[in-house]
Structure formats: structure tokens, C-alpha cells
Amino acid sequence: MVGARPRAALFAVLASAFLLVAGACSGSGEPAGPTTTPASPASGEITVLSFEWGFEPEAIVLQQGQEIRLTLNNEGKILHNFKVDDLKVDVIEEISSGGFSGDDDELFVGAGSDDVGLLRFVPLEAGEYEFYCTIGNHRQLGMEGRLTVQ
Ligand SMILES: [Cu+2]
């Protein structure tokens, strides 16, 4: 399923979506731009956007023992990834794009520019963690966020 759609079309959709978000400061629906309100996916599904230089949302709250299906949607012009250290997890499935993959039981997913990565996992330990991009100095440039497992 990943990589099966026309890239040019996807880019157009993402580009227009980005412009929409960037241009719309009010209106109906979700708040635009980076938010400090933690995303707490009751559905068990969450999409994390990556870009130069950050993630959206910047804070995620998960439930210990609940399976999560995380899609990393890289709207950036370059490769990015999502990694969490020190959290005990059961990794069910990892489909990275862009050439990098995580090790076994490592909470990692990568996505090439204008592409997606999929990570299905179960957080096994409550606590406060950080997610970040491992590439170059991306973390220092702002590509990090807070992951809470409760
Ligand atoms: Cu990055």
C-alpha cells in the first residue's frame, strides 16, 4: 500500500494541504499550526507530520498496553525519521521509506521526502520520553517532541 500511489499527485495534495494550514489562521475544524496540546489517539491511530524543522504534534500521550498505529508523514524536502529511546515496546510492524530502518524492538520509523512510514507498536512502560529525528543536527534544529505513556 505504501508507495503504490502516484508521487506527483500526493505531492500536490500535501502541498495544497500545507498551504491551507499555513494560510488559514481561523475557521472551522482543527487549530492550525504547531500545537502544544498533546495528541491522545483514543482510536489507536495517529499521524505525525515531519518537516524542516519539527514535528506536528509536538506532544503525544499514549496508553500503556494499547496498540498504536503511527503514520509518519514526511512533508519535508529531505529524509526524516521518528525515534524514541529507552521506552520498552513491542514492535509489531515497521515499514520505513527512504532507506533507513530500525533494529529489532527499536521504536523507529523513517520516511523519505514526500513519503510515509508506518509503525505499529505497543508501549509497555509508563513514563515520559522524547521522540526525535536522528539525522544530522535535525534534533537541535527543533525536530523533537514529548511522548507520554500513561
Ligand atoms: Cu530529520
What type of residue sits at position 64? Q
Phi then psi for 58, rounded to 5 degrees?
-95, -5
**Structure confidence at residue 1 (pLDDT):** 45
Listed by start position, the domains of the chain span: 7-149
Residues 6+ apart with CB under 8 A from 49: 55, 56, 73, 74, 75
Mean pLDDT confidence for 101-127: 94
Query: d(Cα 64, Cα 36) in Å, to the nearest integer?
Result: 21
Distance 43 CA to ligand 1 centre (A): 27
For 9-42, write each residue's pLDDT tens digit. Answer: 444 444 444 444 444 444 444 444 555 678 887 7
Distance 74 CA to ligand 1 centre (A): 9
Global pTM reads: 0.74
- Fold for 7-149, please state it: Immunoglobulin-like (2.60.40)
Count how many Cα atoms sit within 13 Å of the Cα of residue 120 in the half-sphere of its side chain.
4
Distance 37 CA to ligand 1 centre (A): 22
**Structure confidence at residue 79 (pLDDT):** 97
How many other C-beta atoms lie within 10 A of the C-beta of residue 45? 12
